[in-house]
Amino acid sequence: MRTKITIFILTIISFVNIEAQYSKRSIKQIQFVSDSLLNLTPSQDASPYKDSILWVKGVVTTPVRVEGGRHQFFTGDRFRFVIKDPSDSVYNYITVVAADTAWFRDNIGIDLLVPGDSIEVLGKISEYRSLTQFEILKQSGCLNLLGTSKANLGPKTVGLDKFFNQSTVVRLNSEKYESAFIKFLDVTVLSINISEFTVADDAGNRITVDDQSNLIYGNIPPAPGTKLSSVQGYMFTNAASGWTVNPLRPTDYVISGAAPTILNIARVDSFPKPNSAVSIKSKIYVTGFTIASSELHYKINNGPSNKINLTTTGDSIYTGQIPASNVDSAIVTFYILAKGSNNNISTFPPDTLREKLFYLTLNRNLTIQDVQFNPYGGGSSYSNMKATLRGIATTDRRIYGAINIQNGTGKWSGIRIRATNDTLIRRGDDVSVTGIIKEVSGLTLLDSSVISILSSNNSSPIPTKIKTAMVTTGAIDAEQYESVLLKLDSVYVVNLNEDSPSNQNFGEFGISENKNNSVGLRIDDYSTKIPFSNDTARAAGKGKIQLKKGDYFASIIAPLDYSFSNFKLLPRDSADFIGFKSLVSVKLENDLIPKYLKLDQNYPNPFNPSTTIRYHLPTNGEVNITVHNLVGQQVDELFNGKQNAGSFEVKFRANNLPSGIYFVKLQHERSSITKKIVFLK
């Protein structure tokens, strides 16, 4: 008994010490962001307490796990749930995550929490894809069960216009509802994707109903055109689309009227000619009712709208024929409209203003540009059709995870190919590829069965020069450059992790021409020959140059890829990174202000290939650090900008320089100091 009492007393003392060590904040204090920050472009929506460790109280509103021991939300090896502060009406929800599920289950019993439990929890504030999260600390006493709350855990009904203007995020109004349980009324299903779907209100404001819940995933979503009297769920953010609403279970969306389902639209003529009519067929049905009418609407080169009635051949299959255009290289757009006997109407595509089905009438062989071309957004008009394409290989399987070919330069000129024998292809090979055109996770590729290498050692296509904003996720023109070799000039590293800027040890780093941006174009390490790492936990000297925010590249050359809902560059090797400069100096931990300007001798010296240069500034002012060769030519600029008084250090890397003697020059206001350094390979 004495032993048990002693342990109990020690536990209480430990918990008291933990409580005293960290301050307490309400959910609203953690979540609140001023309008002035939300009005910036892009909005600065991170919590003012980001990276802080705090105590917070709240009522659990979602289960931690559901039947079969599954987590309520997909989170990998983490528990994820939501808590609410009943005393506030806005900024009163926050997402809670707990890594190492086994530890939190066995030591805290966190998986036993149920909606209505009132808790006090200790954790760190982080941001993931613009969603503020509360990461529970993995230590004894991190969670205290206070009792059972009688708070209202039902949803708050708001309009879709609080979150979106059409498809544009309205961050100013929506941020106050982050992680909140929200209900939208009277919406219509626009499109579906596996078990998630997109809905819109009468004004055209739209949102994705996501399938993050383990009770939703795998369910067949309502068909496009279906009217929902309501849909409710938790408001999370997604890197590609902004806000998503996340139901806990299928009963969280209520169907008010079934609309016709339009499926499997197929163009019978795979490669239409100008002088041939084109047959279109589709499966159309409506549950519990019959199809009253079905129409095929079409335009030629955006001319007058025409329509024909579809006819059924049985088994819900409807067909119609678009007349010959008699115009070479014409763009023929079309959609199907169906009306049920209950008077509900569906179209496919669901949004006929933004999304269009189309085909080209060509009097020539198909090119990569024809396959990739889609001025309306979305995939290839030749999807699931067999084609033969020709181009120069810009990637090589020996160091890169895929093969891209390109038949020139500029928009629509590149495509990825996939085959069992594509390992034989080398950069510069002129190849002819026959296969099936497919859309795989938003990327157009040629799933090939036959590859012919026509010649080798050809000149690579000239990279297309563009700006990062043109191909960043969400850019209107990004699709045009899919799988095209691009060149971005004068770019800075603006963050080390596009998915979670607060976590710098994994993910894709971002670049931008504006070094003050907080988000940028993603750079992925798809190749085995990338010389840089954004992993700040990596020990120095382990074969990778560790990036820092503010590092500079004169140019980056890479094909543009699309995966996991984001456009990104996939550099091939070190040659794709040109003119790297580490422009961020590191301030040393020293509260003493130097009495005079000083430049220390570099270390190590001699060095290969990098060395550290330490310097000391007696006053605030402009600083310029350059490296020169023996004849006085500048070979690098290590820093150029304003700095406060203090001691700093900066790295110099001489990867592409010959061995020899160089000089480092420190310029501070009107004074300068020079030191000799030695580079030995």
Measured distance CA(79)–CA(74) in Å, rounded? 9
Neighbours of 130 (CB within 10 A): 23
CATH topology of domain 261-361: Immunoglobulin-like (2.60.40)
Would you say residue 195 has pLDDT above 50? yes
According to DSSP, residue 173 is labeled: H
Looking at every residue in the chain, the average pLDDT score rounds to 88
Measured distance CA(485)–CA(411) in Å, rounded? 10
Quick one: pLDDT at residue 584?
67
Dihedral of CA 371/374/380/382: which sign? negative
**Tokens in use for 38?**
């939300």
Average pLDDT over residues 291-315: 95
Phi, psi of 74 (to 5 degrees): -65, 120
Would you say residue 12 has pLDDT above 50? no
Q: Considering only CA atoms, which of 495, 445, 438 is closest in space to residue 472?
A: 495
CATH topology of domain 586-679: Immunoglobulin-like (2.60.40)
Average pLDDT over residues 667-681: 92
Would you say residue 526 has pLDDT above 60? yes
Long-range contacts of 194-202 (CB under 8 A, 24+ apart): 195/219, 195/220, 195/221, 196/221, 197/221, 197/222, 199/228, 199/231, 200/160, 200/351, 201/159, 201/160, 201/161
Task: With residue 19 as reference, give the H or E element that holds it.
Answer: helix 2-21
Quick one: pLDDT at residue 123?
95
For residue range 574-599, list pLDDT tens digits in order.
899 998 887 767 777 666 788 899 99
pTM of the model: 0.68
| 78: confidence class by pLDDT, cuts 50, 70, 90 | confident
Q: List b or e across 502-534, with b for residues whose CB sees 16 or more CB atoms inside 10 angstroms.
A: bebeebbbbbbbebebbbbbbbbbbbeebbbbb
Average pLDDT over residues 442-456: 93
Least confident range from 292-296, 319-323, 418-422: namely 418-422
Measured distance CA(476)–CA(42) in Å, rounded? 17
SS (HEC) of 646-678: EEEEEEEECCCCCCEEEEEEEEECCEEEEEEEE
Would you say residue 127 has pLDDT above 90? no
Task: With residue 154 as reference, give the H or E element that holds it.
Answer: none
Would you say residue 36 has pLDDT above 60? yes
Measured distance CA(651)–CA(613) in Å, rounded? 6
User: Is pLDDT larger for residue 244 or for residue 268?
Assistant: 244
Quick one: pLDDT at residue 589?
67
Quick one: pLDDT at residue 543?
61
Residues 6 or more apart whose Cβ sits within 8 Å of residue 455:
429, 430
| 96: confidence class by pLDDT, cuts 50, 70, 90 | very high
| 288: confidence class by pLDDT, cuts 50, 70, 90 | confident
For residue range 217-253, list pLDDT tens digits in order.
888 888 888 889 999 999 998 766 689 999 999 999 9
**Tokens in use for 230?**
């309501």
Would you say residue 671 has pLDDT above 60? yes
The CA R_g of the chain, rounded to the nearest whole Å, is 30
Measured distance CA(287)–CA(302) in Å, rounded? 34
For residue range 338-347, list pLDDT tens digits in order.
999 988 888 8
User: Is pLDDT larger for residue 456 or for residue 242?
Assistant: 456
Q: Considering only CA atoms, which of 399, 380, 398, 397 is closest in space to residue 389?
A: 380
Please name every residue paired with 332 in a beta bridge, in sequence order, or none if there are none: 300, 359
Average pLDDT over residues 537-561: 78
Quick one: pLDDT at residue 501?
56
User: Is pLDDT larger for residue 4 or for residue 538?
Assistant: 538
Long-range contacts of 474-482 (CB under 8 A, 24+ apart): 474/240, 475/567, 477/411, 478/560, 478/567, 479/374, 479/377, 479/378, 480/372, 480/411, 480/412, 481/411, 481/414, 481/560, 482/372, 482/414, 482/415, 482/443, 482/444, 482/560, 482/561, 482/562, 482/567
294, 340 contact by CB (below 8 A): no
Would you say residue 319 has pLDDT above 80? yes
Percent of the chain residues past pLDDT 70, beyond the cut: 93
Q: List b or e across 375-412, with b for residues whose CB sees 16 or more CB atoms inside 10 angstroms.
A: eeebbbbbeeeebebbbbbbbbeeebebbbbbbbeebb
- In the chain, the amino acid numbered 4 is K
Q: Considering only CA atoms, which of 556, 562, 560, 578 is closest in space to residue 570?
A: 560
| 16: confidence class by pLDDT, cuts 50, 70, 90 | very low
Would you say residue 446 has pLDDT above 90? yes
Would you say residue 348 has pLDDT above 60? yes
For residue range 45-54, list pLDDT tens digits in order.
889 999 899 9
Q: 18: helix, coil or strand?
A: helix
Measured distance CA(362)–CA(370) in Å, rounded? 9
User: What single string gives the DSSP state of each residue in 445-489?
Assistant: EEEEEEEEEEESSPPPPPPEE--HHHHSTT-TTGGGGBT-EEEEE
Q: Considering only CA atoms, which of 513, 550, 551 is closest in space to residue 531?
A: 551
In the chain, where the domains are located: 21-148, 156-257, 261-361, 368-455, 464-581, 586-679
Average pLDDT over residues 439-464: 93
Residues 6 or more apart whose Cβ sits within 8 Å of residue 579:
552, 553, 554, 555
Quick one: pLDDT at residue 14?
41
User: Is pLDDT larger for residue 116 or for residue 543?
Assistant: 116
Measured distance CA(88)–CA(26) in Å, rounded? 10
**Tokens in use for 173?**
């109004």
User: Which CATH superfamily hosts domain 156-257?
Assistant: Nucleic acid-binding proteins (2.40.50.140)
Would you say residue 487 has pLDDT above 70? yes
Average pLDDT over residues 606-615: 90
Q: Considering only CA atoms, which of 567, 621, 572, 563 is closest in space to residue 594?
A: 621
Would you say residue 500 has pLDDT above 80? no
Same fold, 21-148 and 586-679: no
Least confident range from 48-52, 126-130, 598-602, 657-661: namely 126-130
According to DSSP, residue 679 is labeled: E
Measured distance CA(320)–CA(300) in Å, rounded? 16
Would you say residue 7 has pLDDT above 80? no
Quick one: pLDDT at residue 540?
45
Measured distance CA(475)–CA(566) in Å, rounded? 11
Would you say residue 609 has pLDDT above 60? yes
418, 412 contact by CB (below 8 A): no
| 567: confidence class by pLDDT, cuts 50, 70, 90 | very high
Average pLDDT over residues 2-22: 43
| Helix, strand, coil share of the chain (percent; to 5) | 10, 45, 45
- In the chain, the amino acid numbered 86 is P
User: Is pLDDT larger for residue 75 or for residue 372?
Assistant: 372
Neighbours of 432 (CB within 10 A): 15
248, 62 contact by CB (below 8 A): yes
Measured distance CA(166)–CA(160) in Å, rounded? 9
Q: List b or e across 589-622, with b for residues whose CB sees 16 or more CB atoms inside 10 angstroms.
A: eeeeeeeebebeebeeeebeebbebbbbbbeebe
Would you say residue 57 has pLDDT above 90? yes
Measured distance CA(624)–CA(599) in Å, rounded? 12
Least confident range from 195-204, 478-487, 495-504: namely 495-504
Quick one: pLDDT at residue 341?
92
Would you say residue 414 has pLDDT above 80? yes
Quick one: pLDDT at residue 484?
98
Quick one: pLDDT at residue 401?
85
Average pLDDT over residues 487-493: 95
Quick one: pLDDT at residue 309?
97
Would you say residue 649 has pLDDT above 50? yes
Average pLDDT over residues 367-380: 92
Average pLDDT over residues 186-206: 90
| 542: confidence class by pLDDT, cuts 50, 70, 90 | low
Pick the CATH number of 464-581 from 2.40.50, 2.60.40, 3.40.50, 1.10.3470: 2.40.50
User: Is pLDDT larger for residue 10 or for residue 644?
Assistant: 644
Pick the CATH number of 368-455 from 2.60.120.10, 3.20.20.140, 2.70.98.10, 2.40.50.140: 2.40.50.140
Would you say residue 9 has pLDDT above 70? no
| 394: confidence class by pLDDT, cuts 50, 70, 90 | very high
| 58: confidence class by pLDDT, cuts 50, 70, 90 | very high
Q: Considering only CA atoms, which of 29, 58, 33, 28 is closest in space to residue 122?
A: 58
Measured distance CA(278)–CA(360) in Å, rounded? 11
CATH of the domain spanning 21-148: 2.40.50.140
User: Is pLDDT larger for residue 572 or for residue 354?
Assistant: 572
Least confident range from 8-17, 80-89, 416-425: namely 8-17
Percent of the chain residues past pLDDT 90, beyond the cut: 60
Would you say residue 351 has pLDDT above 80? no
Would you say residue 533 has pLDDT above 90? no
